[in-house]
């Protein structure tokens, strides 16, 4: 069984293009997939739309993508916290253009999210607005929230991302867009086995690439089962 905790539904010409994502799931035997959408809609409108999509598909889990600079972000967070079709949150400071440790209203947003058991995904890995320590600041302030560092630090902060995750019980890492074998091996050798979660970043990255990279690591089946299935199942309460 595969559980993909990081994917997107493309939004073009006023429509969510869902069919290719569902076909991709069938092709690669993805049993569950966490879905969000990066688009120009307001936070609240996008969250409502994701809720409606997920409500029609038992194998999809919703992710509310929150831009703290959006005027509707608080309303979106409150809605997502109380709706069963939203399973986690995502923040992308690189895409939305802010410094996480200086974004004042993240304190209010995270204090609301803390009242739930829903995890928070954060983009780390490119430039000065997605440094792992910037999100570590919030992870330390909100130890009850499970933070998932996307892309395992990506291009710029792979090793740093693993170091930060290793010293914080509530920080986990996700695997998409991380193709440096040395960094992947360090994560496996350094972190507790329950801290690594599979994600594809579909459709912006190929699902096949995200899966096949593990063929090069010669991991035991029990370990792969944790990464591909059981760790996500535990965090998402599936």
DSSP 167: T
The CATH number given to 2-236 is 3.20.20.140
Q: In this structure, what token pair is assigned to residue 94?
A: 């690189």
**Model pTM score:** 0.97
Query: What is the reported pLDDT for 189?
Result: 96
Domain ranges of the chain: 2-236
**CA nearest to 159, candidates 190, 138, 114, 118:** 190
Burial class for 26, CB neighbours closer than 10 Å (0-12, 13-18, 19+): exposed
What tens-digit pLDDT sequence spans the chain (238 residues)?
899 999 999 999 999 999 999 999 999 999 999 999 999 999 999 999 999 999 999 999 999 999 999 999 999 999 999 999 999 999 999 999 999 999 999 999 999 999 999 999 999 988 999 999 999 999 999 999 999 999 999 889 999 999 999 999 999 999 999 999 999 999 999 999 999 999 999 999 999 999 999 999 999 999 999 999 999 999 999 8
């Amino acid at each position: 069984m595969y559980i993909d905790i990081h994917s997107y539904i493309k939004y073009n010409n006023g429509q969510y293009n869902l069919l290719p994502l569902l076909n991709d799931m069938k092709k690669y035997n993805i049993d569950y997939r966490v879905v969000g959408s990066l688009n120009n809609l307001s936070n609240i409108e996008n969250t409502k739309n994701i809720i409606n999509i997920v409500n029609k598909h038992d194998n999809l889990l919703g992710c509310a993508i929150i831009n703290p600079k959006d005027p509707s972000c608080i309303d979106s967070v409150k809605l997502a916290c109380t709706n069963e079709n939203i399973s986690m949150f995502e923040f992308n400071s690189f895409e939305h253009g802010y410094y996480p440790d200086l974004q004042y209203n993240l304190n209010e947003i995270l204090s609301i999210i803390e009242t739930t058991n829903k995890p928070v995904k954060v983009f780390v890995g490119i430039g000065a607005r997605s440094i792992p320590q910037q999100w570590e600041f919030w992870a330390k302030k909100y130890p009850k929230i499970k933070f998932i560092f996307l892309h395992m630090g990506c291009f710029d902060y792979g090793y740093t991302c693993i170091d930060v995750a290793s010293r914080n019980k509530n920080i986990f890492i996700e695997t998409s867009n991380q193709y440096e074998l040395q960094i992947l091996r360090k994560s496996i050798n350094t972190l507790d086995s329950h801290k690594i979660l599979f994600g594809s970043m579909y459709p912006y990255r190929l699902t096949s690439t995200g899966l096949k990279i593990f063929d090069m690591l010669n991991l035991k089946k029990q370990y792969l089962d944790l990464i591909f299935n059981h760790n996500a199942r535990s965090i998402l309460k599936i």
